[in-house]
């Protein structure tokens, strides 16, 4: 960052691909030092780190399964030991389990709840503990338009994202006295690997239902996350920002 402006540190979970990757890169381009969390794809995490460094910011990779509290604690210790602080947490690591309610399995339910709810709670708790001393911080939770719009086959997934919206509001109120803001971003259909794998006729159907007549780009989500993390949104907390091209209207 230019001049004497204080460098801030952001941790993005699930940052090796898709929306998390875009968020990490956008924060790096905005001048944040970025900790790139991954669970299995180390090579992809290295690539994100290199892109951020080429943009002029520092970055590190940090491995952790966010559904494991001990691994989350170790991740937070590693980040703060390396950089001495944590200013922004982006809770993005999660899983989509598309199964109709009559076909849901206990394993699918447990995986979705563990990553999409427990993982967010673990990371938020441990990040807030690191932010308390400075009485300032920002937590951004990745929700989904599925929390606002009924999508067949997403009973479990939409339940977890509805929980994300609720925890966002509650944590915002709890943490406000400590100067920590909490907001959520709810993307609609975004051009990631998951959408790319859809049959062409299904893609055409979804695009026809979107008022803006296109899928969103991961970079558009990243830009909004970077804005929410900035001082431009210093009075914004407890909100769910929906980026869906008008799909949920």
Tally of structural domains, the chain:
1
Residue range 79-101: mean pLDDT, rounded: 91
Does 203 map to a domain? no
Q: What is residue 1's predicted lDDT score, i.e. its pLDDT?
A: 41
Report the CATH number that the domain containing residue 38 is assigned in CATH: 3.40.50.720
Percent of the chain with pLDDT over 70: 98
Q: What is residue 153's predicted lDDT score, i.e. its pLDDT?
A: 65
* Centroid of chain to Cα 173: 20
97 falls in which pLDDT band (50, 70, 90)? confident
Mean pLDDT of all residues in the chain? 93
3 falls in which pLDDT band (50, 70, 90)? very low
Q: What is residue 44's predicted lDDT score, i.e. its pLDDT?
A: 98
pTM over 0.85: yes
- 12-23 pLDDT per residue, tens: 999 999 999 999
Q: What is residue 205's predicted lDDT score, i.e. its pLDDT?
A: 92
Residue range 193-212: mean pLDDT, rounded: 89
Q: Which residue has the higher pLDDT, 176 or 192?
A: 176
Does 201 map to a domain? no
Q: What is residue 100's predicted lDDT score, i.e. its pLDDT?
A: 78
Beta bridge partners of 48: none
Does 195 map to a domain? no
Whether residue 4 has pLDDT greater than 70:
no
For 151-157, which contacts have Cβ atoms below 8 Å and span 24 or more sequence positions?
Answer: 152/100, 153/98, 153/99, 153/100, 154/96, 154/98, 155/99, 155/100, 155/101, 155/104, 156/97, 156/99, 156/104, 156/108, 156/109, 156/112, 156/113, 157/96, 157/97, 157/98, 157/112, 157/116
- 129-162 pLDDT per residue, tens: 999 989 999 999 999 998 888 777 678 889 999 9
Q: What is residue 102's predicted lDDT score, i.e. its pLDDT?
A: 74
For 131-134, which contacts have Cβ atoms below 8 Å and span 24 or more sequence positions?
Answer: 131/86, 131/87, 131/178, 131/179, 131/180, 132/178, 132/180, 134/85, 134/87, 134/179
Active-site annotation holder among 38, 122, 157, 206: 157
**Residue 67 sits in which domain range?**
9-190+217-243
Does 249 map to a domain? no
Whether residue 10 has pLDDT greater than 90:
yes
Q: In angstroms, how far apart are the furthest CA atoms of the chain?
A: 59
Beta bridge partners of 138: 88, 181
Does 197 map to a domain? no
157 is catalytic: yes
For 99-107, which contacts have Cβ atoms below 8 Å and span 24 or more sequence positions?
Answer: 99/153, 99/155, 99/156, 100/152, 100/153, 100/155, 101/155, 104/155, 104/156
Does 3 map to a domain? no
Does 210 map to a domain? no
Does 209 map to a domain? no
- Could you give the dihedral angle defined by the CA atoms of residues 128, 133, 36 and 54, in that order, rounded to the nearest 10 degrees? 150
- 55-82 pLDDT per residue, tens: 999 999 999 999 999 999 999 999 999 9
Q: What is residue 5's predicted lDDT score, i.e. its pLDDT?
A: 65
Q: Which residue has the higher pLDDT, 100 or 184?
A: 184
């Amino acid at each position: 960052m230019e001049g004497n402006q204080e460098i801030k540190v952001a941790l993005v979970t699930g940052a090796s691909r898709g929306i998390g990757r875009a968020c990490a890169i956008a924060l790096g381009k905005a001048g944040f030092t970025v900790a790139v969390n991954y669970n299995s794809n180390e090579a992809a995490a290295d690539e994100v780190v290199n892109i951020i460094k080429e943009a002029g910011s520092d970055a590190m990779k940090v491995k952790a399964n966010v559904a494991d509290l001990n691994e989350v604690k170790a991740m937070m210790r590693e980040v703060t030991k390396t950089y001495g602080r944590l200013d922004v947490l982006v809770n993005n690591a999660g899983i989509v389990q598309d199964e109709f309610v009559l076909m849901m399995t206990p394993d699918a339910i447990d995986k979705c709840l563990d990553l999409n709810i427990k993982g967010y709670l673990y990371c938020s708790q441990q990040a807030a503990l690191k932010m308390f001393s400075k009485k300032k911080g920002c937590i951004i939770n990745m929700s989904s338009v599925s929390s606002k719009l009924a999508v067949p086959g997403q009973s479990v997934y939409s339940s977890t994202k509805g929980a994300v919206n609720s925890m966002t509001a509650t944590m915002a109120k709890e943490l406000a006295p400590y100067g920590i803001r909490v907001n959520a971003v709810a993307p609609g259909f975004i051009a990631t690997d998951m959408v790319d794998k859809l049959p062409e006729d299904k893609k055409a159907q979804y695009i026809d239902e979107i008022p803006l007549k296109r899928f969103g780009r991961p970079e558009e989500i990243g830009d909004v996350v970077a804005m929410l993390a900035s001082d431009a949104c210093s009075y914004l907390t407890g909100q769910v920002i929906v980026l869906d091209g008008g799909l949920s209207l």
